[in-house]
């Protein structure tokens, strides 16, 4: 139940037995349990968002998820059907920075197949468990400088049901913070 009395869709989810994500935050505190992420998947309090139609919360392990990504990002994989078979037919792709939302894999498979630039990806880190995965990556367009991104993947079974992508340009670290940072 939301604070304002609206029913929360979390009650629709069977969250029993969801494993812990064994990560620590910057303060060394144990991260939130994977099952606590699931109700955020289809937040009803954001315009344009809807409840993700979860059939079950079983997902995939990291090796399987990484293999899915590598297959999609492989430059040799020019067949749109095989590069998008990791998505459910009713998958949603969102770019919050531009406000774009594509519903149904056919809608984003089509425009990706005619994208007007050569795109290369480098995966830096994958974090997550079962049905929720976050990918840190960089992307370059036509061989240009990399932009940095985060892609959030929500799965239903062994396929992606929602992907949310954020991309930003890199910047020089300000010198005034140098004495506190762990990496240059």
What does the pLDDT read at residue 81? 64
What are 114's two structure tokens?
């005619």
Q: What is the mean pLDDT of residues 74-101?
A: 83
What does the pLDDT read at residue 71? 81
CA distances for 10 relative to 21, 38, 52, 103, angstroms? 19, 8, 11, 22
- Which residues span the domain enclosing 74? 9-170
Inside any domain, residue 125: yes
Tell which residue, 75, 78, 63, has the closest CA to residue 158: 63
pLDDT tens digits, 128-159:
998 999 999 999 999 999 999 999 999 999 99
Confidence of residue 99 (pLDDT cuts 50, 70, 90): very high
Residue 26 has pLDDT above 50, yes or no: no
What does the pLDDT read at residue 80? 59
Q: What is the mean pLDDT of residues 56-73?
A: 79
Confidence of residue 25 (pLDDT cuts 50, 70, 90): very low
Give the other-Cβ count within 10 Å of 183's Cβ.
Answer: 4
Inside any domain, residue 27: yes
Q: Which of 11-15, 51-55, 163-167 has the lowest mean pLDDT?
A: 11-15
The tally of domains found in the chain comes to: 1
* pTM of this structure: 0.65
CA distances for 173 relative to 27, 55, 148, angstroms? 22, 44, 14
What does the pLDDT read at residue 152? 96
Inside any domain, residue 98: yes
Inside any domain, residue 114: yes
Q: What is the mean pLDDT of residues 105-114?
A: 87
Inside any domain, residue 177: no
Inside any domain, residue 176: no
The alpha-helical segments, DSSP class H, found in 74-143 are 80-83, 105-113
Inside any domain, residue 134: yes
Q: What is the CATH number of the domain that holds 148?
A: 3.10.450.50
Inside any domain, residue 51: yes
């Amino acid at each position: 139940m939301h604070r304002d009395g609206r029913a929360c869709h979390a009650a629709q989810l069977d969250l029993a037995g969801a494993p812990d994500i064994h990560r620590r935050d910057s303060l060394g505190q144990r991260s939130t349990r994977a099952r606590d992420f699931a109700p955020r998947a289809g937040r009803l309090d954001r315009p344009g968002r809807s409840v993700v139609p979860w059939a079950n919360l079983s997902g995939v392990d990291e090796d399987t998820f990484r293999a899915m990504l590598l297959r999609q990002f492989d430059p040799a994989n020019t067949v749109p059907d095989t590069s998008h078979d990791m998505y459910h037919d009713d998958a949603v792709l969102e770019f919050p920075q531009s406000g774009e939302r594509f519903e149904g894999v056919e809608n984003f498979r089509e425009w990706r197949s005619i994208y007007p630039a050569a795109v290369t990806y480098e995966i830096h880190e994958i974090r997550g468990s079962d049905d929720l995965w976050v990918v840190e990556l960089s992307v370059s367009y036509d061989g240009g400088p990399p932009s940095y991104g985060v892609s959030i993947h929500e799965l239903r079974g062994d396929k992606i049901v929602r992907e949310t992508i954020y991309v930003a340009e890199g910047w020089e670290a300000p010198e005034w913070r140098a004495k506190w940072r762990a990496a240059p």
